[in-house]
Structure 1
Amino acid sequence: MSINIMILIIAAVFIGALMRTMFGFGEAIVSMPLLALLPISLNTSVSLIGLAGLTVAALTVASGWRHIERPVLIRLAITTVIGIPIGLLMLRFTPANVITTGLGVFLIAYGCYSILKKKLLKGLDRPLLNAGGWVLPFGFASGALGSAYNFNGVPVVIYGTLRRWNPERFRGTLQAHFLISGVLVVSGHALGGLWTKDLLTLYAFSIPAILLAIIIGKYFNKKIPAAKFENSLFIIIVALGILLLFPHGRY
């Protein structure tokens, strides 16, 4: 692997970690499409972002523990475990171009949902999905999407939005879920034989970039209103999703 490619890979990890620290989520959604455009195997990309996400979660979760909705977190963890093997099967037996196309469609759908969610939920004065059982399919989806695409946070973001969590509960529960599901997903990757020497080398070189992203992200998180930049982030997500639908955007 050339130095230039390695620098681009580390840059993709840095950008994802920066988005995650600033907005509380978005690391895999940004980094995975960027890595998919580089000459790096899908298995390596998935495993690298899984390790990077776990690192960010471990370093940022402590401050939000008191705001966690613990009963929901427990149900999420249980159903995430059930969903992980499904995602691993998808990753191992589904052709890479099919997964990449699916990733592109998913990014477009999620980006459009995120842009429109304020309008969709405008006037809603009570939370949806009050029944405890609703958390189960979101947890299952988190496990499946997490092990296949590292999108373990997306179902929880949607669930928290529909439940109308306040910002503290949203961020605290989400970060705790990232930590728990991250451990499970990374363990699944290791046990599934996805770890290689190249992966561990890339991760080792990415650690300084991850630490730098956390420092910069926390600074901007305090100085700049995140809501002002959310729409821009989601527009970029949609654009990356569209790019992945074209042959020249696939590896």
Structure 2
Amino acid sequence: MSITLILLAVAAVFIGALMRSMFGFGEAIVSMPLLTLLPIPLHTSVSLIGLAGLTVALLTVFSGWRHIERPVLIRLAVSTVIGIPVGLIVLNTIPSYIITSILGIFLIGYGAYCLLKKNLSKAIDHPLLNSRGWVWPFGFVSGVLGSAYNINGVPVMIYGTLRRWNPERLRGTLQAHFLVSGVLVVAGHALGGLWTTDAFVLYAYSIPAILLATALGVLLNKRIPARKFERILFVIIIALGILLLFPRG
């Protein structure tokens, strides 16, 4: 790998880690599309972001542990385990260009959902998905998306939004889920043969960037109006999703 490629990969990891530490989510959603635009094998990108995401989770989970929805977290963990092998099968059997196209469509839909959810929340004045059983499909999808795309937090965020959790409960449960599912996803990547030497080399170079991004994100989170930056983030997510739909030579 060239120095330029390493620096670009580290920059992608840094931006994703900064988004996660600022908003409580968004690392893989930002980093994965950026990495797929580089001449890096998809398996290397997936395992790199899995390791980076687990590192960020370890650094941030303790700040919100008091607000964790523990019964939900347990059910999420169990259903995530069931979904992880399905995601690995998808990753190992479907061509990478199809996966990146699916990821692009998913990002466009998710970004649009996040931009509209404020109006949706106003229209809904009571929590939805009151049955405890609803957490199982969301956890399963989290496992599938986590092992295939490292986007294991998106289903949980959607679930929490529909349940109308307050920001502290949503952020705390998300961070705890990232830690638990991160361990499971990284283990799945190892057992599924996704780990490569290049992934560990890039991860080693990325560690200082992850530490800096985490500290900077916590600082910015306290000083910058998060809602304004969330809208910008979701617009960027949609733009990245559109970019992934264009064929690349």
TM-score of the alignment, normalized to the shorter chain, above 0.5: yes
**CA displacement 1:44-94 (0-9 Å, x = unmatched):** 001100100000000110121111111100000000000000000000010
Residue type at the aligned position of 1:167: P
Give unpaired runs (5+ residues) of structure 2: none
Query: CA shift at 1:121, angstroms?
Result: 2.3
**CA displacement 1:188-222 (0-9 Å, x = unmatched):** 00111111111111101100000000111011001
**Residue matched to 1:8:** 8
CA distance in 1, matches of 2:60, 2:132: 27
Residue type at the aligned position of 2:105: V
CA distance in 1, matches of 2:28, 2:195: 18
* 1:126 and 2:126 correspond: yes
CA distance in 2, matches of 1:153, 1:225: 22
**Residue matched to 1:37:** 37
**Residue matched to 2:77:** 77
**CA displacement 1:230-249 (0-9 Å, x = unmatched):** 1110000000000000013x
CA distance in 1, matches of 2:217, 2:39: 28
**Residue matched to 2:192:** 192
**Residue matched to 1:104:** 104
Residue type at the aligned position of 1:146: G
**CA displacement 1:115-165 (0-9 Å, x = unmatched):** 011112213221100100000000000000000000000000000000000
CA distance in 2, matches of 1:81, 1:126: 30
Q: Secondary structure at the match of 2:116?
A: helix
CA distance in 2, matches of 1:55, 1:164: 28
* 1:47 and 2:47 correspond: yes
Counterpart mapping for 1:199-210 below 5 A: 199-210=199-210
Residue type at the aligned position of 1:124: I
Give unpaired runs (5+ residues) of structure 1: none
**Residue matched to 1:147:** 147
**Residue matched to 2:221:** 221
Q: Secondary structure at the match of 2:80?
A: helix
Query: CA shift at 1:111, angstroms?
Result: 0.4
TM-score of the superposed pair, with normalisation by structure 1: 0.98
**Residue matched to 2:89:** 89
Residue type at the aligned position of 1:149: Y
Counterpart mapping for 1:225-244 below 5 A: 225-244=225-244
CA distance in 2, matches of 1:38, 1:121: 37
TM-score of the superposed pair, with normalisation by structure 2: 0.99
Residue type at the aligned position of 1:8: L
Q: Secondary structure at the match of 1:122?
A: helix
Aligned length: 249
Q: Secondary structure at the match of 1:121?
A: helix
Which deviates more from structure 2 when the two are superposed, residues 129-138 or residues 191-200?
191-200
* 1:179 and 2:185 correspond: no
Structure 1 ranges of 4+ moved more than 2 A: none
CA distance in 2, matches of 1:154, 1:123: 22
CA RMSD of aligned residues (A): 0.7
Report the identity percentage. Answer: 74
Residue type at the aligned position of 1:45: S
CA distance in 2, matches of 1:141, 1:176: 17
